[in-house]
Amino acid sequence: MINLINLEKTESTNTYAKALLKSGEPLRPFTVVFAREQTKGRGRLKRTWESKKGDSLCMSLILSDTANPSITLLSALGVHKALREFYPMLQIKWPNDIIADNKKLCGILTEGTESGTVVGIGINLNQTEFCDEISRKATSLKLLTSNTYSAKELCKKVAKSVFETIEAHKSQLTKEALEEYTSLCANLGKEVLWQDKKGIAQGISPDGSLIVKTQEGEEEIRFGEVFVNGIY
């Protein structure tokens, strides 16, 4: 089912996937770009994503949908489903992180183009240490389970789960998807800080925003970074 584009090395699987979409080349459904090594991995807001050959899973799914917040949230649900078999106590930090023991195991970067959307997924598999900048906030499947993982095998499993989740909900944040996301969301009930504001996260709105109760009233955060007290 999955059409895997298997690269030995690339700057960023998201950049590669976006170029493919822009080229207009006909793509088979369920196309995924996988790279054993990624040299310029990107996060949101021009941040970098650290990865290491053999230790990290770097992959990008190509969808014909236009980009919208539902795609990111559904992708997080799909990744969660694939990974919880190895470590059940996983949560989602709104909007795009899969976390375990309050540390980041996976990040998702959704990027739109005129002809479709790219969902980039970075998962820490076999690292036992990280660079100073992220050493306190990152974890890997190996640190959690003491097992070693094959990036390519896991890529197929994660891709299948994410494609199936998006299809099952027809690319929309359905009531069921929202309920599941809410039940897994680590932010809720906690103090969150964003820009120069703070409040208590109350829930996720049907458009995927984070609902936060502040002293001034209720606010909806549509995107951006929130810090969660006790997480990062």
- What is the smallest separation between the CB atom of 41 and ligand BT5, expressed in angstroms? 4
**Binding status of residue 112 toward ligand BT5 by CB under 6 A:** no
3-class SS string, the chain: CCEEEEEEEECCHHHHHHHHHHHCCCCCCCEEEEEEEECCCECCCCCECCCCCCCEEEEEEEECCCCCHHHHHHHHHHHHHHHCCCCCCEEEECCCEEEECCEEEEEEEEEEECCEEEEEEEEECCCCCCCHHHCCCECCHHHHHCCCCCHHHHHHHHHHHHHHHHHHCCCCCCHHHHHHHHHHECCCCCEEEECCEEEEEEEECCCCCEEEEECCEEEEECCCCCEECCCC
Closer by beta carbon to ligand BT5, 12 or else 31: 12
Among 37, 50, 65, 191, binds ligand BT5 (CB under 6 A): 50
Among 31, 72, 91, 96, binds ligand BT5 (CB under 6 A): 96
Query: Per CB under 6 A, which of residues 144..203 are in contact with ligand BT5?
Result: none
Number of residues that bind ligand BT5 (CB under 6 A): 28
Closer by beta carbon to ligand BT5, 174 or else 225: 225
In 3D, which of 139, 159, 156, 134 has the Cα closest to residue 55?
A: 139
For ligand BT5, which residue has the nearest CB?
A: 107
**Binding status of residue 134 toward ligand BT5 by CB under 6 A:** yes
**Binding status of residue 49 toward ligand BT5 by CB under 6 A:** yes
**Binding status of residue 47 toward ligand BT5 by CB under 6 A:** yes
Closer by beta carbon to ligand BT5, 70 or else 124: 124
**Binding status of residue 9 toward ligand BT5 by CB under 6 A:** no
- What is the smallest separation between the CB atom of 202 and ligand BT5, expressed in angstroms? 22
- Which two tokens mark 91? 């949560």
Q: Kindly list the residues in this chain that would bind ligand BT5 in the complex (CB under 6 A).
A: 12-14, 41-45, 47, 49-51, 58-60, 96-97, 104, 107-109, 120-122, 124, 134, 137-138
